[in-house]
């Protein structure tokens, strides 16, 4: 079989996968018409298939169900640009920037939008703000020739690059969605191909790199997973779960010092996740930093008072420090919830006769 013939075969195979997924999502939407997620996904698939009216109606339905659905808002905004409905697109992006004035990604989108619409002054102003609020934008604009010697430039090279950004948005989102869909179906090789396409088309989208990191993590390719998460974190340094996932990977690689550093960062950025406090407590406890471990477990229990393992760990930590009374108190609480826990029962019996 020649290369051309093989490429044609692969393309036909991909098209058939896309058609199958479109049919499945259409069926899902019929069954669950009130799921904004599904409406948004169908809108995206239709937009890429070349049915902008169909796509618009599903994005609007998604926003009717959930007016704050950011992904759908952006999808609709981009769709209006594609349809040359500039005023509607501008309304969407401007209102988003008003709500989130320090969102670098939105500034970037609006900069590109004004450039496409021919308003270069407004474009330059938003692109400058994008650099201010989103560290990744400076490197990226430099690479495509938009940012030179501390100023925004719109030469031919920059124009070509900015036009490409606009055209790639839906296609990149589409490949990302297909990649996640195939990953859920247990087809990692195909999923990886789609996610890589998404990241190539839109290299400034941190979610694509984070998804690539997650897929590599699930596959056991830890070095590549670390690269994916690190890229994502460079674009969005506030992505707490990215640090948490890095920490788990370092744990698997027995690099616990780096695991600890990442988990501390994750907890700092996402302090409302009991699970992160729990994992940080394990890291402190393994290093015999008992005071900090106890403090993290208490935080986990404040967030989720039914966090059983956190309470068992807390009891064990008190026991390690010979704080028998507190250890007994925690074990008794655990046994009230799960009286059949033999490990905890044995621990309680062992320390019951001790004083203090």
Binding of another protein by 282 (CB under 8 A): yes
Binding of another protein by 356 (CB under 8 A): no
Binding of another protein by 352 (CB under 8 A): no
CB of 152 or CB of 316, closer to another protein: 316
Q: What would the x/- binding string for another protein be over residues 234 to 273, using CB under 8 A?
A: --------------xx-xx-x-x--x--------------
Query: Which of 37, 88, 227, 341: binder of another protein (CB under 8 A)?
Result: 341
Query: What residue ranges in the chain does DSSP mark as E strands?
Result: 147-148, 151-152
Query: Which of 11, 27, 120, 218: binder of another protein (CB under 8 A)?
Result: 218
Tokens of 98: 């008003």
Distance CA 54, CA 57 (A): 5
Rounded to a whole number of angstroms, the minimum distance from the CB of residue 251 to another protein is 3
Rounded to a whole number of angstroms, the minimum distance from the CB of residue 319 to another protein is 10
Binding of another protein by 313 (CB under 8 A): yes
Rounded to a whole number of angstroms, the minimum distance from the CB of residue 15 to another protein is 24
Binding of another protein by 318 (CB under 8 A): no
Query: Which of 7, 91, 185, 349: binder of another protein (CB under 8 A)?
Result: 185
Question: Applying CB under 8 A, which part among 35-43, 104-112, 205-213, 309-317 lies near another protein?
Answer: 309-317
Binding of another protein by 338 (CB under 8 A): yes
Binding of another protein by 146 (CB under 8 A): no
Phi and psi at residue 30, in whole multiples of 5°?
-65, -40
Alpha carbons within 13 angstroms on the beta-carbon side of residue 151 total 5
Rounded to a whole number of angstroms, the minimum distance from the CB of residue 284 to another protein is 9
Rounded to a whole number of angstroms, the minimum distance from the CB of residue 221 to another protein is 12
Query: Which of 44, 283, 301, 327: binder of another protein (CB under 8 A)?
Result: 283
Tokens of 40: 């948004």
Closest by CA to 306, choosing from 278, 340, 270, is 278
Rounded to a whole number of angstroms, the minimum distance from the CB of residue 26 to another protein is 22
Distance CA 165, CA 202 (A): 7
Contacts for 36 with CB less than 8 Å, ≥ 6 apart? 61, 62, 63, 65, 66, 69, 72
Phi and psi at residue 287, in whole multiples of 5°?
-95, 10
Q: Are 164 and 156 in contact (CB under 8 A)?
A: no
CB of 103 or CB of 319, closer to another protein: 319
Binding of another protein by 322 (CB under 8 A): no
Q: Which letter does DSSP use for residue 237 in this model?
A: T
Rounded to a whole number of angstroms, the minimum distance from the CB of residue 250 to another protein is 8
Number of residues that bind another protein (CB under 8 A): 29
Binding of another protein by 190 (CB under 8 A): no
| Long-range contacts (CB closer than 8 Å, 24 or more residues apart) made by 210-218 | 210/239, 210/242, 211/176, 211/179, 211/180, 213/242, 213/245, 214/245, 215/179, 215/183, 215/188, 215/191, 217/245, 217/248, 217/249, 218/183, 218/188
CB of 25 or CB of 259, closer to another protein: 259
Q: Which letter does DSSP use for residue 273 in this model?
A: -
Distance CA 225, CA 209 (A): 9
CB atoms under 10 Å from CB of 92, counted, come to 23
Contacts with another protein, residue ranges (CB under 8 A)? 184-186, 217-218, 220, 248-249, 251-252, 254, 256, 259, 275, 278-279, 282-283, 285-286, 308-310, 312-313, 316, 338, 341, 343
């Amino acid at each position: 079989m020649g290369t051309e013939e093989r490429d044609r075969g692969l393309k036909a195979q991909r098209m058939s996968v896309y058609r199958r997924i479109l049919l499945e999502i259409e069926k899902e939407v019929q069954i669950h018409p009130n799921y904004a997620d599904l409406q948004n996904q169908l809108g995206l698939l239709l937009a890429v298939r070349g049915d902008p009216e169909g796509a618009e109606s599903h994005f609007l339905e998604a926003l009717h169900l959930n007016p704050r659905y950011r992904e759908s808002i952006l999808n609709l905004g981009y769709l209006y640009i594609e349809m040359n409905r500039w005023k509607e697109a501008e309304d969407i992006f401007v209102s988003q920037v008003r709500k989130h004035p320090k969102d670098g990604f939105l500034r970037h989108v609006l900069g590109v939008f004004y450039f496409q619409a021919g308003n270069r002054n407004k474009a330059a102003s938003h692109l400058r703000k994008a650099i201010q609020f989103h560290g990744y934008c400076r490197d990226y604009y430099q690479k495509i020739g938009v940012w030179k010697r501390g100023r925004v430039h719109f030469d031919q090279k920059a124009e070509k690059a900015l036009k490409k950004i606009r055209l790639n948005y839906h296609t990149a989102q589409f490949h990302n969605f297909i990649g996640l869909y195939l990953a859920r179906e247990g087809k990692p090789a195909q999923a990886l191909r789609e996610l890589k396409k998404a990241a190539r088309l839109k290299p400034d989208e941190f979610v694509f790199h984070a998804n690539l990191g997650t897929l590599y993590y699930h596959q056991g390719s830890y070095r590549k997973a670390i690269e994916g998460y690190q890229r994502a974190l460079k674009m969005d340094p506030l992505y707490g779960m990215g640090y948490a996932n890095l920490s788990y990977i370092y744990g698997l690689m027995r690099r616990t010092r780096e695991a600890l550093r990442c988990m501390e960062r994750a907890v700092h950025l996402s302090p409302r996740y009991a699970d992160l406090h729990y994992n940080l407590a394990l890291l402190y406890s393994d290093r015999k930093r008992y005071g900090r471990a106890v403090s993290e477990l208490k935080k986990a229990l404040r967030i989720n008072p039914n966090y059983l393992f956190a309470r068992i760990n807390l009891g064990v930590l008190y026991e390690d420090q010979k704080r028998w009374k507190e250890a007994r108190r925690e074990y008794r609480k655990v046994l009230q919830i799960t009286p059949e826990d033999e490990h905890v029962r044995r621990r309680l019996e062992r320390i019951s006769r001790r004083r203090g």
